[in-house]
Copies of this chain bind each other. A is one copy, B any other.
């Protein structure tokens, strides 16, 4: 009987132990960031992650404090020639105006619906707000997210011809996955609209809705034809940019991140606050240096302007990722 029992134990135990051994060996050997070149950027990231996850290290950080925040536009996906959300708004406006031209109540709306973005956006923030209001309010959150998700997955970017949902950065996808595998919580903290990003954030980044923090319009609870609904209303509730980013992180996460990635001066305060905390901290700025594979822009760009961050990265100890030099590939499936 004892012999038989031993046989059962061996039968049950052997595969589990073999699998455990293979997994442990695999994890130690596999490159977690295969789309990153073997430059200092990659080794700095890996050294940091290894230090904060090694219980024997003086820099060890418990998993609950391993909070990593990422800007979206220009950090996780492209943002040229215009923020994708604005391109969505213009497409949506055209579609809406085809059904009901009376919605084009201002010059900016008329120009945008005709595809004349230069004239439409000449009105600055006021014009943008008109276009956003016309296309981002007066519907339920569910209806908006369905519309945004369809567009992101089917509309094509004007210069690359890719679906927008496929203009995400392969090296950053690997970084997100690597951090989660190492016990980090990954969040988006972006100036983009929270409902727009949520439409695909879980599918493309593996970041669930509760980890997406963004700008937001007003919204309200309403019973529509007997159905309890969340409606998107006109007006801005919160702009998640610049000093608004640390405020939003405090409000929604309540912890100071230990890993932070951005690409523009809109991320400066988030980088500054996060990396000023006690213990090990990692700040990273994606520098768009790759005119061949993506775009090259920084101090002079009207989108994703990076000026102060470029001057002060070194003194803060932030990693400047040189896209052309540090990334083996840019987009998935290249």
Contact = CB atoms under 8 A, between A and B. Distances in A.
A208 interface: yes
Interface string A7-45: 001101110110000000000000000000000000000
Nearest to A214: B251
Count this chain's copies in the assembly.
Answer: 2
Interface stretch (A51-59, A102-110, A159-167, A252-260): A252-260
A253 B185 CA distance: 15
Interface string A240-269: 000110110011111100000000000001
Nearest to A202: B64
**List of 4 A-B pairs having minimum Cβ-Cβ separation, nearest first:** A209-B254, A13-B13, A221-B243, A228-B273
Contacts of A220: 243, 247
Interface bracket on A: 35 or more
Interface in A143-191: 185
18 contacts: A6-B10, A9-B10, A9-B14, A12-B13, A13-B13, A141-B250, A185-B210, A209-B254, A219-B250, A219-B251, A220-B243, A221-B244, A221-B269, A227-B276, A228-B246, A228-B276, A230-B246, A230-B250
Interface string A126-149: 000000000000000100000000
A10 B10 contact: yes
Given A221-B269, A273-B221, A276-B228, A212 B12 contact: no
A13 B18 CA distance: 12
Given A9-B14, A210-B253, 14 more contacts: A9-B13, A9-B17, A10-B10, A13-B16, A194-B254, A198-B254, A208-B254, A209-B253, A210-B255, A221-B243, A221-B244, A221-B269, A228-B269, A230-B246
Dominant SS at the A interface?
A: helix
A212 B272 CA distance: 25
A227 B273 CA distance: 9
Contacts of A254: 194, 198, 208-210, 212
A121 interface: no
A303 interface: no
A216 interface: yes
A10 B14 CA distance: 9
B247 A219 contact: yes
Contacts of A64: 208
Given A13-B17, A210-B252, A221-B243, A228 B272 contact: yes
Nearest to A252: B252
Contact of A12 (B17, B141, B246, B269): B17
Contact of A255 (B14, B185, B209, B255): B209
